[in-house]
């Protein structure tokens, strides 16, 4: 098994992160592990350095991106697959979904008028998804990922997952709306 | 310490002539900028990079090869001079064809004054007098010339090199470049991105932290890279570009304009054919270059006087420059930045000498670009700095680069499944599981693609990997784990394992336009033919070095020891020394070795006298030359 992104940097599992410190740690470890350091070494040293360096690079890219970082945390606590289950179904914003179906009909009748409405709809949806993102990050920062199974954490994770589900639905709505065509 | 030649590397060296300047340390690593138009070689000595001059004493070696009737060829200025007069035997801009198939070059093919042989399955070739050369072979000839320049200048054999490529070069083009290096007898330790190399030279000069954009418009390629410089770390945040965009395209635009001017004189005139194309391109380039210093340029072409103003040139060039806009915007966005975040814009490449190119860049970035460095030399200097890093001499600098294009495999319906997105830091690794669809299936073919489009058909197919040796199992049972590794050269490596049975997989690679097996074989065979002459050249260089060392030691010791020597003996030593000196002017290995040995023998007595004068007892039983060197 390869190490988790947090392990690579000797960090505790946490959504909160000192970006500066992470960057400096990345630079420091790169200086040590990069294949440039063994350019004239033997083949096995080179292979090992490539592997270590690749692992470091991936861990860094995972940690510095909040979305990927959260996904890593969910995966580590075994909750990423929960998202695919039915849990959080009630999170789907019915009002926006209905508005979309209305637009779909309007688009077949008069594309010109629909086009304007579609654009406004996409804006609304994007704003709503943005609010979800902020809420998701705020929740993620409150969760103690080292001991994720306390009742309090469970409740927070449940809320986070349903927010994520809502956001995913919104983004797919926006995608579909775009396909209706904005002239 | 043995007595064999070669130990001289560890001995303190007497004298400081240019030929022994670099002796004493490890084998040198040179940095090479293999350009579309010009190539250069550079080296770092004691932390300072410098360009190594060519045979003709110039820093820039035109990337042009001219073939003579007797099968010999010349490279550089000599070849460039013959380009217009003898276009049928002159090959230029081979880099534009490197690692490319017929479909890749379709848009520019009619503009090149080259006789091309195209096939849909292998690299385009260049025909000269009934022989077809791959661009790899042409590039290898240029690299060989640069290697020779370095060996002449450094006075020792050179094998290890860093070779630069445009950052936006794909896997096939990188592999082709590496193959050219191998063919030239070089051990290519790193394929380095040109703008990244430039940033190293910039960083060495400025010693500043910040966010830097490198705008590199060369002869045939355009790159834009966004870097973060931080305490010796050069971190590429994003890169983009166009590998078919450069000064050549300005020439083509000007050539088309000249053609239309000429038609005003003679409506029926036709300018097709190699000679005419070459003459038009040549005239166009001359006008363009002159207009970087003058506001109007005039020349005679096809018997007609042509006058071009800088304004008109700017107008003709604008469509070329406009094509840099989209890649620049994408790169800045991919870096997660806005133009105002950048602290400097570095200019690289000959065309950035044109004032309106600089103005275009200034408007695009909202700041005056930096052109304090020679735009044609900065890449080679950077390559030398990277070489110095690889040699372990520079522990302060480290480059962290990215892969320029997304890498993926085909999934259902011809969609591209992205395994490694563009701008991922390298080295990088991705693992993917495959299985069999038919009972007893023992082979799985995987097609790897590179590009940003959603459908694989619109991306470039790099290679087909055929995984063989899968144990016969029911359909879907085999678990084949494939590891895709993009190394620090930006080149893809693939390994596979069947995890159900634990059987190692054999992988057969069928590159698309890179190298067919047949080509590799032929080239390696040709390489062997060169290997012998290489070995001889290497021996000669080593022998001359050793001889120079002994000679210098003798010349230093003789005046001091003369009083203790018999006049006849002193005269004999002088004779032997003269013979060594003369042998150095010839490329005759046996003569150099013989003369040096004779001098060795002839100075044994003098060395003994010298030794008895020395208090150091540790010098006993040493070869005379060694003692002389220590004196
Ligand atoms: N003074 C000048 N004014 C305008 N253009 C120039 C000038 N000097 C050189 N060039 C042009 O610059 C180009 C060559 O630039 P450069 O040597 O940087 O390219 P290269 O490194 O060979 O190419 P690439 O980097 O694309 O492989 C040619 O098109 C040449 O005509
Ligand atoms: Mg260049």
Q: Kindly report the CATH number assigned to the domain that includes residue A32.
A: 1.10.287.110
User: B99, B100, B218: which to mutate for ligand 1, most atoms within 8 A of CB?
Assistant: B218
Q: Is residue A81 part of a domain?
A: no
Per-residue pLDDT reduced to its tens digit, A72-119 = 999 888 887 766 655 555 567 778 888 888 887 777 777 676 677 888
Q: Both A69 and A107 in a single domain?
A: no
Q: How many residues would you count in chain A?
A: 183
Name the phi and psi angles at B110, rounded to 5: -70, -15
Closest CA to B160 of B344, B374, B391, B455: B391
Which of A76, A100, A122 is the endpoint of a domain? A76
How far is A40 from B141, CA to CA, in rounded Å? 25
Nearest residue of B to residue A50, measured between CA atoms: B427
Residue of A77 and B52 predicted with greater confidence:
B52
DSSP B438: S
Nearest atom in ligand 1 to the alpha carbon of residue B34 is: 27
Q: Both A40 and A111 in a single domain?
A: no
Per-residue pLDDT reduced to its tens digit, B20-48 = 334 445 789 999 999 999 999 999 999 99
Beta bridge partners, B466, equal B445, B508
| Helices and strands, number each (H, E), in chain A | 7, 0
Angle between helices A111-142 and A151-180 (to 10 degrees): 160
Q: Both A9 and A47 in a single domain?
A: yes
Check if B233 contacts A (Cβ < 8 Å): yes
What's the whole-number average pLDDT of chain B?
85
Q: What is the CATH number of domain B247-318?
A: 3.90.640.10
Angle at B494 between CA B488 and CA B500, to 5 degrees: 135
Token pair of B73 as six digits: 């060829």
Check if A63 contacts B (Cβ < 8 Å): no
How far is B53 from B49, CA to CA, in rounded Å? 13
- DSSP SS3 for B116: strand
Per-residue pLDDT reduced to its tens digit, B85-108 = 888 899 999 999 998 888 888 887
B247-318 against B403-514: fold identical: no
Nearest atom in ligand 1 to the alpha carbon of residue B194 is: 25
Write out the CATH class of domain B519-630: mainly alpha
Distance B31 CA to ligand 1 centre (A): 19
Distance B37 CA to ligand 1 centre (A): 6
* Inter-chain touch A40–B389, beta carbons under 8 Å: no
Pairing verdict, β B73-75 and B90-91:
unpaired
Which of A18, A51, A76 is the endpoint of a domain? A76
Burial class (CB in 10 A: 0-12, 13-18, 19+), B247: buried
Per-residue pLDDT reduced to its tens digit, B409-449 = 887 778 888 899 999 999 999 998 888 888 888 888 888 88
Q: Looking at beta carbons, which residues of chain B come within 8 Å of A29?
A: none
Q: Both A108 and A167 in a single domain?
A: yes
CB B461 within 8 A of CB B448: yes
Check if A99 contacts B (Cβ < 8 Å): no
Query: Which pLDDT score, from 0 to 100, does residue B7 have?
Result: 23
Tell me the shortest Cα–Cα distance from A130 to chain B, in angstroms: 18
Q: With a threshold of 0.90, does the pTM exceed it?
A: no
Check if A53 contacts B (Cβ < 8 Å): yes
Q: Is residue A83 part of a domain?
A: no
Residue nearest to atom 5 of ligand 1 (CA): B351
Per-residue pLDDT reduced to its tens digit, B506-555 = 676 666 555 544 554 565 565 555 555 666 776 777 788 788 888 888 88
Per-residue pLDDT reduced to its tens digit, B246-303 = 999 999 999 999 999 998 887 777 777 788 888 899 999 999 999 999 999 999 888 8
* Inter-chain touch A35–B485, beta carbons under 8 Å: no
All structural domains of chain B with their residue ranges = 29-245+323-400, 247-318, 403-514, 519-630
Query: Which pLDDT score, from 0 to 100, does residue A177 have?
Result: 82
Token pair of B372 as six digits: 């304090």
* Inter-chain touch A57–B428, beta carbons under 8 Å: yes
DSSP B369: P
Quickly list DSSP for B171-199. HHHHHHHHHHHHHTT-EEEEEEEHHHHHH
Query: Which pLDDT score, from 0 to 100, does residue B616 have?
Result: 46
Second-level CATH architecture of B29-245+323-400 = 2-Layer Sandwich (3.30)
How far is A33 from B425, CA to CA, in rounded Å? 14
Q: Using a 6 Å CB cutoff, which residues line ligand 1?
A: B 35-38, 95, 194, 218-221, 246-248, 285, 288-289, 292, 349-351, 353-354, 376
The CATH T-level fold of domain B403-514 is Substrate Binding Domain Of DNAk; Chain A, domain 1 (2.60.34)
Q: Which residues are CB-neighbours of A119 under 8 A, at least 6 positions away? A: A182
Which of A76, A105, A136 is the endpoint of a domain? A76
Number of domains chain A contains: 2
Q: CA B380 → CA B34, B224, B395, B510, distances in Å? A: 9, 17, 20, 33
User: B173, B219, B358: which to mutate for ligand 1, most atoms within 8 A of CB?
Assistant: B219
Structural domain containing residue A70: 5-76
Rounded mean pLDDT, A138-156? 87
Check if B425 contacts A (Cβ < 8 Å): yes
């Amino acid at each position: 098994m390869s190490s988790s992104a947090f392990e690579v940097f000797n960090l505790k599992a946490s959504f909160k992160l000192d970006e500066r410190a992470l960057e400096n740690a990345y630079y420091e470890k790169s200086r040590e592990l990069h294949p440039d350091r063994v350019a004239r070494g033997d083949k096995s040293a080179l292979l090992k350095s490539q592997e270590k360096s690749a692992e470091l690079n991936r861990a860094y890219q995972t940690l510095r991106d909040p979305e990927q970082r959260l996904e890593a945390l969910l995966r580590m606590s075994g909750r990423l697959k929960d998202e695919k289950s039915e849990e959080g179904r009630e999170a789907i914003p019915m009002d926006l979904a209905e508005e979309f179906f209305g637009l779909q009909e309007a688009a077949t009748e008069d594309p010109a008028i629909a086009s304007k409405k579609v654009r406004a709809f996409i804006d609304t949806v994007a704003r709503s998804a943005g609010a979800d993102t902020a809420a998701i990050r705020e929740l993620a920062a409150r969760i103690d990922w080292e001991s994720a199974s306390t009742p309090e954490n469970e409740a927070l994770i449940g809320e986070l997952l349903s927010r994520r589900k809502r956001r995913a639905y919104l983004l797919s709505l926006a995608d579909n709306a775009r396909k209706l065509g904005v002239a | 310490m043995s007595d064999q030649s070669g130990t001289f590397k560890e001995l303190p060296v007497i004298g400081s002539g240019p030929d022994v300047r670099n002796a004493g340390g490890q084998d040198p690593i040179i940095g090479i900028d293999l350009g579309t138009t010009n190539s250069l070689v550079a080296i770092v000595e004691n932390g300072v990079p410098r360009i190594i001059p060519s045979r003709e004493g110039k820093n820039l070696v035109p990337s042009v090869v001219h073939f003579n009737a007797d099968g010999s060829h010349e490279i550089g200025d000599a070849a460039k001079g013959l380009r217009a007069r003898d276009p049928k035997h002159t090959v230029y801009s081979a880099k534009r064809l490197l690692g490319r198939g017929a479909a890749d070059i379709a848009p520019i093919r009619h503009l090149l004054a080259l006789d091309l042989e195209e096939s849909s399955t292998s690299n385009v070739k260049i025909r000269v007098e009934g022989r077809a050369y791959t661009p790899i072979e042409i590039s290898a000839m240029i690299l060989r010339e640069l290697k020779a320049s370095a060996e002449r200048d450094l006075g020792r054999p050179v094998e290890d090199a860093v070779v630069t490529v445009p950052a936006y070069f794909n896997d096939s083009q990188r592999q082709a470049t590496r193959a050219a290096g191998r063919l030239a007898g070089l051990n290519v330790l790193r394929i380095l991105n040109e703008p990244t190399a430039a940033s190293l030279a910039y960083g060495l000069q400025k010693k500043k932290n910040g966010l830097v954009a490198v705008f590199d418009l060369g002869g045939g390629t355009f790159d834009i890279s966004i870097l973060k410089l931080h305490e010796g770390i050069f971190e590429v945040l994003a890169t983009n570009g166009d590998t078919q965009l450069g000064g050549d395209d300005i020439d083509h635009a000007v050539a088309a304009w000249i053609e239309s001017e000429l038609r005003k004189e003679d409506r029926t005139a036709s300018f097709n054919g190699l000679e005419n194309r070459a003459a038009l391109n040549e005239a166009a380039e001359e006008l363009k270059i002159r207009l970087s210093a003058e506001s109007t340029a005039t020349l005679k072409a096809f018997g007609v006087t042509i006058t071009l103003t800088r304004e008109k040139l700017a107008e003709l060039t604008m469509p070329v420059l406009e094509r840099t806009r989209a890649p620049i915007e994408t790169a800045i966005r991919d870096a997660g930045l806005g133009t105002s975040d950048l602290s400097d814009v570095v200019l690289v490449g000959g065309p950035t000498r044109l004032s309106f190119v600089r103005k275009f860049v200034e408007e695009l970035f909202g700041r005056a670009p930096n052109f304090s460095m020679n735009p044609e030399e900065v890449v080679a200097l950077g390559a030398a700095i990277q070489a110095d890093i690889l040699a372990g001499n520079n522990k302060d600098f480290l480059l962290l680069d990215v892969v320029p294009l997304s890498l993926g495999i085909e999934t259902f319906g011809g969609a591209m499944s992205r395994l490694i997105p563009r701008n991922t830091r390298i080295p990088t690794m991705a693992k993917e599981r495959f299985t069999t669809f038919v009972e007893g299936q023992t082979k799985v073919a995987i097609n790897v693609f590179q590009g940003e489009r959603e459908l694989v058909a619109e991306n470039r197919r790099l290679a087909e990997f055929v995984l063989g040796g899968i144990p016969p199992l029911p359909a879907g049972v085999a678990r084949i784990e494939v590891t895709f590794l993009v190394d620090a050269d930006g080149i893809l490596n693939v390994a596979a394992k069947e995890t159900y049975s634990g059987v190692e997989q054999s992988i057969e690679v069928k590159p698309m336009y890179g190298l067919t097996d047949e080509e590799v074989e032929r080239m390696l065979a040709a390489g062997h033919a060169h290997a012998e002459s290489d070995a001889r050249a290497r021996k000669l260089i080593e022998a001359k070095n050793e001889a120079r060392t002994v000679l210098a030691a003798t010349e230093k010791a003789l005046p001091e020891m003369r009083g203790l020597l018999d006049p006849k003996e002193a005269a004999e030593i002088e004779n032997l020394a003269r013979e060594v000196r003369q042998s150095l002017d010839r490329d005759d290995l046996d003569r150099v070795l013989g003369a040096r040995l004779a001098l060795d023998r002839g100075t044994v007595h003098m060395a003994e006298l010298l030794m008895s004068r020395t208090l150091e007892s540790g010098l006993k039983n040493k070869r005379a030359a060694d003692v002389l060197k220590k004196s």
